[in-house]
Structure 1
Amino acid sequence: MLALIAGGGGLPQRVAAAQSKPPVICGYEGVAVEGLDVDQSFRLETLGSLIKSLQDLGVTQLCLCGAVPRPAFDPSKLDALTMPLVPTFQKALGAGDDGALRVLIDIFETAGFTVLAAHDLAPDLLAVPGILSGKAPDAQMAQDAARAADVVATLAPMDIGQCCIVGGGQVYGIETIGGTDHLLATLPQRVKTAAAILFKGPKTNQSRLVDMPTIGPATLEAAHKAGLAGVVIAAGNVIILEPERCKTLADDLGLVLWSRATP
């Protein structure tokens, strides 16, 4: 039996729809799960109880999918079954995003669950190589995409983020703890005249089980609002939600949408 540890955004719904049998949906308290009924609600301080409940249900496989903000830890809400996990939580909360997620995977695997990636359960989620929009990248945009990919790879050991904004060879922003939405909302005004692109791809050596880079229609709308000329993703390593709608939207907004293969 499969359970989804579901966060926000459209990914959990896509993964659930691809299954022959409905999975158990587990939602983090305070995080809305789109289009799905939550069977089990939990928080960090009750994770031990969630694990016991899923074991009792006969769940053997887990998939962590969707966006969940890094939780704060409230000792007053800790339950007895979660108490033994506190030292592990402390290690996770002091790590970067990827490090914290690796700790969480270890907790689930130690409890006997097999942790699966969203794209293992729904392989069509991964973007195939190619120009997905009617508008193609020019030579400058190709150079900017290569520079942005290099920046993301260089910053990978610091576990900062998965995307970068580059235009005319100039780096205008990198993703940090605020995520892609915050990056796009805080760009300097001059980016609007730079024909800049948003590049998104996985960090080097990033676990592919969780936190795979993801884009969807909202990403394109935010990129357009920020004045960018295109969105470039690492082919085969980024999940694209509603791909057909994204292609149509890119054309409607005059954006380049390019699933770039690694040279």
Structure 2
Amino acid sequence: MGAVNGTLAILAGEGRLPVVLAARARAGGRRVLAIQVRGASPQLAEAADVYVRTPLGEVGRLLALLQGEGVTEVLLAGRFSRAAVHGDLAGGDAAARRLLETVRDRGDQPFLSAVASALGRWGIRVGEQLAYVGDLLAPPGVLAGPPPAPEEAADVQVAVRVARHLADLEVGQTVVVKGGAVLAVEAAEGTDEAIRRGGSMAPGAVVAKVGRTQQDPRFDVPTVGPDTVATLAAVRARVLALEAHRTILLDPAEVRHAAQASGITVVAVDAPPLRPRDAEAGRS
């Protein structure tokens, strides 16, 4: 991807990914406007040139901010509760309600694609997270802890297969399995709650977090970090399975240390790399 001029905006939910993106973009010479639409983050405020908190339902104000700051590119990053986002838009300004009315499929990727299309009509491009954190994609193999035992390896296969179907159906990305039985699947509650729910049923469970077969690299790329490992440790889960080349691994050294300390194996199963949308457009 070539050099991009103008201010980069990060439309931020909760979690650490927006902070990492802001820090890396600034280190690369970009001016960063962080718009926090979910939660609050002193770390993001410190990492960005400009930090603003505003509800997602105030679409008119968001657009004015983007245009007033000379934004040419937006990244969508962080955790967004599906129910909260739809609630914010339904109770938001006229522009927010119009946006919600245009979205027939309320799954995460179709919904975010509609947001990207709306921004495009306003002359603002939605960029790809991997342009800034592509080096954080998990490599294949065992990343922490001992190799999975045979029964755990079998559960990894089940969990990854079910999670991929789950993601393709726009339900969620995370599945918890023990002894070949699915204990929990992620829906609107998010990854951590799904892990807590499933892991509380049986210690030693396997957790898989997997993206869609046709994953859009602009948003909702599966992301794990030390907090994910801490959630597994709290319910005494044994294995965290990811897809190599398709999962962002935040703070890899800290993830390895936390996993080792908790007796958790982190394994990345081999998978086809995510394709940049620019490359896809060039083939179409």
- TM-score (structure 2 length as normaliser): 0.82
Query: 1:156: Cα distance to partner?
Result: 3.4
> Which residue does 2:39 correspond to in 1?
31
> Which residue does 1:55 correspond to in 2?
67
> Which residue does 1:135 correspond to in 2?
146
Alignment partners' CA distance in 2, 1:15 and 1:198:
26
Alignment partners' CA distance in 1, 2:79 and 2:201:
30
Residue 204 of structure 1 is aligned with which of 208, 213, 220? 213
- 1:131–1:118 CA distance, 2 compared to 1 (3 A): same
1:114-172, CA deviations, whole angstroms, 9 ceiling, x for partnerless residues? 21122222222211112111311122222211111211222334311001111221111
Query: 1:208: Cα distance to partner?
Result: 2.0
> Which residue does 2:251 correspond to in 1?
242
Alignment partners' CA distance in 1, 2:135 and 2:39:
26
State the percentage of identical aligned residues.
Answer: 27
AA aligned to 1:56 is G
Instruction: Indicate the larger mover: 152-161 or 58-67.
Output: 152-161
Residue 190 of structure 2 is aligned with which of 162, 179, 204? 179
1:72-127, CA deviations, whole angstroms, 9 ceiling, x for partnerless residues? 1477752xxxx345332234486122222121111112211121122222222211
AA aligned to 1:261 is D
- 1:186–1:24 CA distance, 2 compared to 1 (3 A): same
Query: 1:3: Cα distance to partner?
Result: 1.0
AA aligned to 2:249 is I
Residue 217 of structure 1 is aligned with which of 197, 220, 226? 226
> Which residue does 2:17 correspond to in 1?
11
Alignment partners' CA distance in 1, 2:9 and 2:23:
13
AA aligned to 1:149 is V
- Contact 1:161–1:175 (Cα < 8 Å) also in 2: yes
AA aligned to 2:167 is A
Unaligned 5+ runs, structure 1? none
- 1:55–1:232 CA distance, 2 compared to 1 (3 A): same
AA aligned to 1:9 is G
Alignment partners' CA distance in 1, 2:216 and 2:89:
28
- TM-score (structure 1 length as normaliser): 0.88
Residue 64 of structure 1 is aligned with which of 76, 93, 97? 76
Alignment partners' CA distance in 1, 2:199 and 2:142:
27
1:47-95, CA deviations, whole angstroms, 9 ceiling, x for partnerless residues? 13322332232211111111132321477752xxxx3453322344861
Alignment partners' CA distance in 1, 2:126 and 2:144:
34
Alignment partners' CA distance in 2, 1:168 and 1:76:
44
1:153 aligns with 2:133: no
Count of residue pairs brought into register by the alignment: 256
